[in-house]
Amino acid sequence: MRPRRRFTADPPRPPRNEALNENIRAARVRLIGEDGSQLGIKTKDEALDIARDHDLDLVVVAQQADPPVARIMDHGKYRYEQEQKAKLARKHQSQVNVKEIKFRPKIGIHDYNTKKGHVERFLNQRAKVKVTIMFRGREQSHPERGRDLLMRLAEDVKEIGQVESPPLLDGRNMVMVLGPTKNAGVTREDDAKAEDTQRSQEAVQGDGNGEAPAPPSDEEPLPEREVREAQA
């Protein structure tokens, strides 16, 4: 009885790069050296020989040119550097966080102050705030009330927020977008630093328990008679 054949999966092949070494399709390329020097127009085989002599790769960097532009480089090192740059860019890329607060045109002063506090908190967190005025029924015939309310809010938070999108009607709603200024989130940090400084100063002053420093131990106390004469 013949033994069964074992089928093993082929190892994954590297992705075919049409612009690298033997995979380059162009017959001629405009060659650039490793140091950036212009080496002129070469055939593909000539360019490959020059790259192999330097133990480097031939990589097309401008496919649409006529002829394509190819450069001699260490392709593995180049890809690694590109990946690190992309990773660093993603790390420093700021994510835009948008919060939304909804108002009514006839909002009371207490509710207004509460929601204004939410807006200030969001701005101090470096987030954008979408402020929406919701109109109902006959309120739609007086959009100026919503606009006045939005501009009042913008004036109240102008130290930490700036108008990025002015009040605009959107169906039954009116929308305004506020963005954080440079001062947003700074005041809280400064207050915390000032509080820490004050605490440290109080701790230093409290080391003596409120008492004056004691005289040096090598000083002799005055005789009792001299003390009485001084008091007289």
Q: Provide the token pair at 157.
A: 């938070």
Dump pLDDT digits (tens) for 12-71: 444 454 578 888 888 999 999 988 899 999 999 999 999 999 899 999 988 888 899 999
Q: What's the rounded Cα separation, in Å, for the pair 162 and 178?
A: 5
User: Over 80: is that where the pLDDT of 199 sits?
Assistant: no
Dump pLDDT digits (tens) for 84-134: 988 888 776 656 688 999 999 999 999 999 999 999 999 999 999 999 999
Which of 2-11, 21-30, 147-156, 208-217 bottoms out in mean pLDDT, i.e. has the lowest? 208-217
DSSP 36: S
